[in-house]
Chain A
Amino acid sequence: MSSHELRTPLGRVRGLGSAKEGVTHHIRQRVSAIALIFLVPWFVYSVSDATGGAYEDAVSFIGHPINAILLILTVGAAFYHMRLGMQVVIEDYISKTGTRQALLILNSFVTIALFAASALSVLKIWIDAP
């Protein structure tokens, strides 16, 4: 053990030191937040309008090219941001290793599956639009 080692011997044995990923996670969380600053105001206003009507209104809103592009960007940034955020919540509250790993994997699956389902639904409506 070098004299510059800052971790205690107990900490080294437990192997629960830095995983060298914290800074990347922090930056990704903030960059996706910056993207959402631009997307969320449009999303809240337009979607509250589009969900308030009939089927035809919803489809004509989603099928408009500008709306379709903005929707895909919004769900992309949102599910990415959600995956990072929920990862921290799981790491903070679930200390049992097996449960924690299972929930982290579930978090990845859920956010990626919802992104795929949402983006492909928007694409289908856009392509089918007259």
Chain B
Amino acid sequence: MAEAGRTDERPMSPHIQVWKWHATMAASIMHRATGVALYVGMLMISAWLVAAAMGPDAYAPVQALMFSLIGQLILFGFTLAILYHFANGIRHLIWDGPRAGFDPQFASAVSVFNFAFAILGAAAIWSASHFL
């Protein structure tokens, strides 16, 4: 809404650069970032389902892509993103429903837990599906 020729100085919201980074801020930004990443990632899940429905000839290139290094990195990133968005989404529901967990120190601890949950969870699922 920045009209040209405005004479009065309107107050501006602080920009991201002037904030000291803290855990809840990173958690909030990451929630939106993983949401957008999952939007793109679901294109992949749809492609997988459609290719499977079309038959072996259509499935082969999709499978080749999934098993390539870049495909595996994308799938691992998808697992990380979905686990993070899942854990942090539950926290949002607890904020909205029972209205609990607003204490700053506790909220920071939950943010760190959610990041750890995503990383350790993705590592566990990938170890299980690759080595068991």
Contact = CB atoms under 8 A, between A and B. Distances in A.
Q: Interface residues of A: mostly helix, strand, loop or mixed?
A: helix
Contacts of A75: 42, 45-46, 49
B86 A40 contact: yes
Looking at chain A, what size class is its interface with the partner chain?
35 or more
Contact of A118 (B49, B125, B129): B49
Interface residues of B, number: 34
Nearest to B59: A55
A66 interface: no
Contact of A59 (B42, B52, B79): B52
Given A44-B125, A55-B63, A124-B53, A30 B48 contact: no
Contacts, number: 85
Contacts of B59: 55, 58
Nearest to A107: B39
B56 to A, nearest CB: 5
18 contacts: A30-B96, A36-B89, A37-B90, A40-B82, A40-B86, A44-B125, A48-B75, A48-B125, A54-B63, A55-B56, A114-B42, A117-B49, A118-B45, A118-B50, A121-B50, A121-B52, A122-B49, A125-B53
Interface of B: 1, 32, 35-36, 38-39, 42-43, 45-46, 48-50, 52-53, 56, 59-60, 63, 66, 75, 79, 82-83, 86, 89-90, 92-93, 96, 125-126, 129-130
Ranked nearest first, the 6 interchain pairs of A and B with the lowest CB-CB distance are A121-B53, A121-B49, A55-B59, A124-B53, A114-B46, A118-B46
